[in-house]
Amino acid sequence: MRRFVATFLCMALALSFGCNTKSTPGGPGAGGTTRAEKQDTFSLKVPSTSTSIKQGETKDVTITVDRGHDFKEDVKLSATTEGKGVTVTPSPAELKASDKATELKFKIEAAKDAAIGEHNVTVKATPTHGSATEGTFKVKVTGP
């Protein structure tokens, strides 16, 4: 019995101290020190919620290009959808490197006979040099 108690206490003590390693909550790479973000890149922000529109209606949607401090390139944006009767204009559009603006307004138009339901709109942002990035948002077409 003494041997059992002694073994149990040793195991409890070993488990409480562990192997002297600690992990950061949230997994590897989380918390602690943060890496500086690259300043010569950009990111694309599209609406995070579905945009509702009635057949025969037009709505504005804002697309944002967040430029890193050192990002000095033009960015061409194009928007496409496979939704029947749903169009996005202007496409393409462009934010010049010299522009102070970071947002572009796109018009979403649902024709009178547009298919009712949710449609994906894909926005592609292409810098003068480097890789393009894409974002997708939903447009929900309802009856009149």
d(CA 46, CA 64): 7
Longest dimension (CA), the chain: 85
pTM: 0.69
> Would 12 be classed as within a structural domain?
no
> Would 23 be classed as within a structural domain?
no
pLDDT at 101: 87
pLDDT at 108: 95
> Would 82 be classed as within a structural domain?
yes
> Would 20 be classed as within a structural domain?
no
d(CA 77, CA 94): 6
pLDDT at 20: 47
> Would 75 be classed as within a structural domain?
yes
Residue ranges, the chain, pLDDT below 70: 1-38
In 3D, which of 121, 123, 134, 54 has the Cα closest to residue 83? 121
At 87, which CATH number? 2.60.40.3450
> Would 91 be classed as within a structural domain?
yes
Query: Could you list the residue range(s) of the whole structural domain that residue 115 is in?
Result: 42-142
Cβ contacts of 10 within 8 Å, gap of 6 or more: none
> Would 13 be classed as within a structural domain?
no
pLDDT at 2: 63
